[in-house]
Copies of this chain bind each other. A is one copy, B any other.
């Protein structure tokens, strides 16, 4: 039960993408087709994957012509088999062909992020560990990509710099230590502001635990150290692991007992899901 993003957040992204494509002359190839020709198309998954972002496709098509009919057949957060029809649309041929690339560019990217997330989520299935994203998102697409992670079964990390304090190594260095940084954070935080701190070794972890932050990010720990960290923490605060995470390593990391694993690749390097638009 994933909450869709409101059209108000998606439409500007779609409009900007369409405008980028239409340039100053509009679609000079679609103009070769009869103005009242109609087209019936399906969005078909070329490969198996997790669906996410259908609203982008709908908004691209209907922006070119509000009379285009769009129907989703597989909903965001569900899986599409290879060859499956995800959605169908019908309407003015020029409108559909003009919007095609924008619709597919967005849909493919968002499904791509969801599908990669799903792979990580499946890899840790059976453990209690959850998969989360980072701020390594595509500029302009953060809301959509973090939504895609949720569609893939992951959870959202903070959305930006203002909704949680996350003390990283450079902040620790600038403050003069994990303890001093957390002391300042505690003093600055509101009653609802989450605090997370990155630690690079077990000594820092112990230092951090004394301040009871909401989450401790244990970065680039060996599996052995991860296990020690989990033991040392004993459930007092949530532990987030990061660094060296890929589909081969993620399960071992999860099995150390960390609560969350954050994966930058979910949003910075997910290949698109290959989706085609076929006339029917």
Residues of chain B contacted by A224 (CB below 8 angstroms): none
Q: Are B109 and A159 in contact (CB under 8 A)?
A: no
Residue of A98, A106, A190, A269 with most partner-chain B CB within 10 A: A190
CA distance A50 to B271 in the complex (A): 20
CA distance A256 to B125 in the complex (A): 46
Interface 9-mer from A22-30, A80-88, A204-212, A226-234? A22-30
| A270 CB to nearest chain B CB (Å) | 8
Within 8 A of B (CB), among A90-147: 93-94, 97-98, 101-102, 104-106, 108-109, 112, 130, 132, 135-143, 146-147
Residues of chain A having any CB pair with chain B under 8 Å: 1-6, 8-9, 13-35, 37, 39, 63-64, 93-94, 97-98, 101-102, 104-106, 108-109, 112, 130, 132, 135-143, 146-147, 155-168, 170-171, 173-175, 181, 184-185, 188-194, 196, 214-215, 238, 240, 259-260, 265, 268-269, 271-272, 279
